[in-house]
Chain A
Amino acid sequence: MTRRRTPCQALRTAVVALVFLGAATFPPLRVSGQESTATPLSQIERKNKAPVSRDVLSVKIPKAFETRLKNGLAVLIVEDHRFPAVHVELHLRAAGALFEPSKSPGLASATAQMLREGTQTRTSEQIAEEIEKLGATLSASAGFGSPETVLGASGLSSNFDSWFAAATDVLLHPSFPAEELAKLKQRLKVQLREQRSAAGFLSEERFRGAVFGGHPAAVVAPTLESVEALTREALARWHRERYAPADSILAVVGDVRAAELIPKLEKSLSAWQTAEVKEALPPNAAPASARKVYIVDRPNSVQTVVVLGDIAIDRRSADYIPLVVMNHLFGGSSSARLFLNLREEKGYTYGVYSSFNAGEYPGPWRVGGSMRTEVTDGALIEFFREIRRIRDEKVPEAELEQSKRSLVASFALALEQPSRTLAFALTRKIYGFPDDYWDTYPGKIMAVSADDVQRVARKYFNPETMQIVAVGDGRKIQPILEKYAAVEVYDSAGKPLRPPEKSPEKSIERAP
């Protein structure tokens, strides 16, 4: 096939194409800074000889075609006739893992995965064969913490009707065969074991637990018990009650004509009449009241994966835009302060980034990366130094301007891929933003001031109460982490290795 296999793709863990920047496991931002008091941009040597156009291309993000079917399903369409392919995704916004009963983690995901394992008229094998013969692909995901299950289908426009019909059958008429469910459970159980090999999973498990507490977004995986307990009746019920058109959005991008597609959708989806669910969100998680350290002892580790952070904002927050700017210059890219300090100056790491998750409910900001065990101490000192610096010192005007310019100018790149246009339209639709939201967005970014940046840094980056997770060689890193707060230690199976320290927060000796 034309899929170019490299060893990197063929071997899931080996990386053969080595990239300068690597894959950001954290959402991005960028800076300079070595010493906290140094001029922020001192690490960048500016010769100012390159020919730069001063203009920022002002681009207008195209609007998606938008309508609602008779059954209540919202539809967004971005036509793109450059390439003979179509991508469809259905956002089922009452069927996400966020709404699972607490005893049933994994129910939403299992339901989504089982859709293609059998319908009233097709077996699992028939579905696979039929879809793949057309060159199409189906996908299903129900990420933990997410309010939605997302079903995807992609294929060529030349046989769109055929693969879309098969996808519709999978959506509307799944049969959840018991035999296939038994097989899925076996695979899920192996995955439960497999995921614990990754330091990133272990840090995510501990971090989400720390910042979300009793909120359902603290959950990151099913349990052996919850997998065992899955029944076809429970899956069928989740599908029957929660896959509701009026709660959902169908997003389409590619070589289709909206005027032709809408009647087809009305016809093929008219039988889909599940009543609207209108699920309420669980009560929000609140930022922590005290700093705390969680160590996951992962024997044989040569690096420590560090994540620091706490709950911040939801997507509708008025602080969203100033946080975008603050994050961008603090740690959101390879030009941000964190990267320039911990990688380009200190050589502690292949990459460090900061990010924040802002969706339907307040999610966490976070800072982190992987660094060799020996510099865990130094890296933590720099993390704290940078967090204090962005809180205590007003960001220099030049650094702020370049960050804002970077964010606004990059809008032009979004025009290359209509899937980005669709993503913009989805965000607007999901959060109920006004029609001109993306038209006015660049102006709002440019209006962010140094005071705004400092204000949101102080409001959300609280070094005294943030949560600290470190995954690595427990014996070596525990003495370092103990300087920061009371420590809880876990093994890589997720079990506490000893009871939490009893010492009251106030008596803890604080490091930096």
Chain B
Amino acid sequence: MRTVQFILAALISLTPFQPALRAQAAAPEAAPKSGPPIEVRFQEYKLKNGLRVILSEDHAAPTYSLCITYNVGSRDEPPGRTGFAHLFEHMMFQGSANVGKGEHSILISNNGGSSNGTTNPDRTNYYETLPANQLELGLFLEADRMRSLTISQANFDNQRLTVQEERRQNYDNRAYGKTYEAIIDAAYDNFAYKHSAIGSMEDLNRAAVKDAAEFFKRYYAPNNAVLSLVGDFKSEAALALIKKYFEAIPAQPSSAAPDVTEPEQKGERRRTIEDAFAQTPRIDMVYKAPAGNTTDWYALDVLGDILAPSMSSRLYRKLVKEKEIAVSVSAGPWEQRGPSLFEISVMARSNENVPEIEKIVYEELERVKSEPVSDWELEKVRKQSEHHRVESLYSTRSRVTLLGSYAVYYNDPGLINTIQSKVARVTKDDLQRVARTYLKETNRTVVITLPKPKSAPVSTDGK
């Protein structure tokens, strides 16, 4: 391994814990106007087997967070295999060569830590936060399952049941639970983002344990992962431990990235669904949008915050306060590695309000195209962004997962420091340009979720 690069300056430039870093706290670009810039200092390495390592020391508390981000998500699933990446994530807690079934979680818990794993369309990650004296424990546990996961039929069947309950709890037994899948199914043409990460019940039933071993070998290789570590450790010692536990895990032939390209949309798409649990209608208007971390994506992000959901935002004022036809509204682009969606979602007061809400939303979008936004709106979004960014850096857990995601998504963990300037650079012209480019009828999908008409209440069991 070698030091690949040294990025950016001082962790929290004013911290009394790292005075040595202050001198390096050069704020290269477009830092917020007020307040000192906050820089997360980190170093990068690459092990011989291709594992990318990101270390960021922070001695403010006697703790650390570790995250392994694997470059695999539901977008890698072919038709018929939906939900597999997430089901596999559950398998990662079922034991490995030197860790028994259930032992991973209990070792973390017994030593005062917390851990979890998450799967989204673009990546799968595993993280733990532990007291600083348990550094070796976390590294050992992550390395052992990367090297030697136990994949048994019994565990696979059990986790399939658990995941199916997860689906029921979060989608099938919940108001608006069908809406998300209806949106992506209607808006996307490419299967990569057209299906959900939770997957269909049918595909989950069909998932086979023999595929798990192949999936593991293909995607859970060190050269397809990023290890990020943030907290109270000495980098040199930590790196030695990382090499000890991870470097002997063999690399695998790398997999081609999935084709996620979307054809240009030629006309509006509409869908209306009935929801047995919903009590009020919801309208989702989504537009095909560029991938995350692009100039246009940041402009759409800023525009979303001008539109909703805060109390001074345009759609809140118009729909909730002035017209009183909606109760809440949100707007903005989803962050995805590939083609994204800009979504405006409105909870309406009643079914009759739906057409008017749609009309007003489109009028407001036309206004964005024809008139520059005001200075205070842009200033508001920048300040809110600055505040939000500060809060996103509070915990080692948050920093470690951001570093891992940015490395896997954009090959740029330094985005944790530069993102603020990308938001601050968005101009009024940018907002008009992206509104005209993306927020147009032919690029739009509308999904309306209506409460299912109720039959008259009947007492149970006929009494």
- Residues 263-306 of A contacting B (Cβ, < 8 Å): 295, 297-303
Interface centre among A2, A4, A6, A299 (most CB of B within 10 A): A2
Known: A13-B174, A51-B136, A85-B391. A413 touches B383 (CB 8 A): no
Name the B residues within 8 Å of A136 (CB-CB): 387
Which residue of chain B has its CB nearest to the CB of A404? B110
Known: A335-B109, A405-B110. A497 touches B459 (CB 8 A): yes
A483 at interface by CB-CB < 8 Å: no
B162 at interface by CB-CB < 8 Å: yes
B310 touches A128 (CB 8 A): yes
B35 touches A20 (CB 8 A): no
**Whole-angstrom distance between the alpha carbons of A30 and B118 in the complex?**
21
Name the B residues within 8 Å of A345 (CB-CB): 158
A156 touches B312 (CB 8 A): no
Name the A residues within 8 Å of B109 (CB-CB): 30, 333-335, 402, 406
B7 at interface by CB-CB < 8 Å: no
Interface range for A: 35 or more
A2 touches B118 (CB 8 A): no
Hey, which bits of chain B sit against chain A, CB under 8 A? 12, 14-17, 34-36, 38, 60-63, 86, 89-90, 93, 95, 98-103, 105-107, 109-114, 116-121, 129, 131-134, 136-137, 140-141, 144, 157-166, 168-177, 179-181, 183-184, 196-198, 276-280, 284, 301-302, 304-305, 310-312, 317, 320-321, 324, 327, 330, 332-335, 341, 343, 345, 347, 349, 376, 379-396, 419-420, 423, 457, 459-461, 463
Hey, which bits of chain A sit against chain B, CB under 8 A? 1-8, 10-22, 30, 32, 43-47, 49-53, 55-57, 59, 81-85, 116, 124-125, 127-129, 132-137, 154-159, 183, 186-187, 190-191, 193-194, 196-199, 295, 297-303, 333-335, 340, 343-345, 347-350, 370-372, 402, 405-406, 408-413, 415-417, 474-475, 478-479, 489, 491, 493, 495, 497-498
Known: A7-B180, A45-B100, A335-B109. A50 touches B137 (CB 8 A): yes
B110 touches A406 (CB 8 A): yes
Known: A20-B89, A84-B36, A475-B461. A197 touches B386 (CB 8 A): no
**Whole-angstrom distance between the alpha carbons of A83 and B93 in the complex?**
35
**Whole-angstrom distance between the alpha carbons of A126 and B40 in the complex?**
36
A194 touches B347 (CB 8 A): yes
A13 touches B137 (CB 8 A): no
Pick the residue among A16, A22, A159, A412 that contacts B166 (CB under 8 A).
A22
**Whole-angstrom distance between the alpha carbons of A347 and B94 in the complex?**
14
**Whole-angstrom distance between the alpha carbons of A301 and B74 in the complex?**
27
Known: A50-B141, A478-B461. A81 touches B173 (CB 8 A): no
**Whole-angstrom distance between the alpha carbons of A389 and B461 in the complex?**
34
CB distance from A494 to the nearest CB of B (A): 12
**Whole-angstrom distance between the alpha carbons of A406 and B105 in the complex?**
12
**Whole-angstrom distance between the alpha carbons of A319 and B460 in the complex?**
41
Interface centre among A85, A297, A348 (most CB of B within 10 A): A85
**Whole-angstrom distance between the alpha carbons of A182 and B347 in the complex?**
19
Which residue of chain A has its CB nearest to the CB of B100? A45
Known: A5-B334, A84-B35. A478 touches B63 (CB 8 A): no
**Whole-angstrom distance between the alpha carbons of A422 and B335 in the complex?**
33
Name the A residues within 8 Å of B327 (CB-CB): 187, 190-191, 194
CB distance from A499 to the nearest CB of B (A): 9
Known: A18-B198, A52-B111, A335-B109. A198 touches B175 (CB 8 A): yes
A10 touches B343 (CB 8 A): yes
Known: A1-B381, A43-B102, A49-B99. A413 touches B166 (CB 8 A): no
CB distance from B398 to the nearest CB of A (A): 10
Name the A residues within 8 Å of B420 (CB-CB): 2
Pick the residue among A298, A301, A412 that contacts B131 (CB under 8 A).
A412
Name the A residues within 8 Å of B395 (CB-CB): 416-417
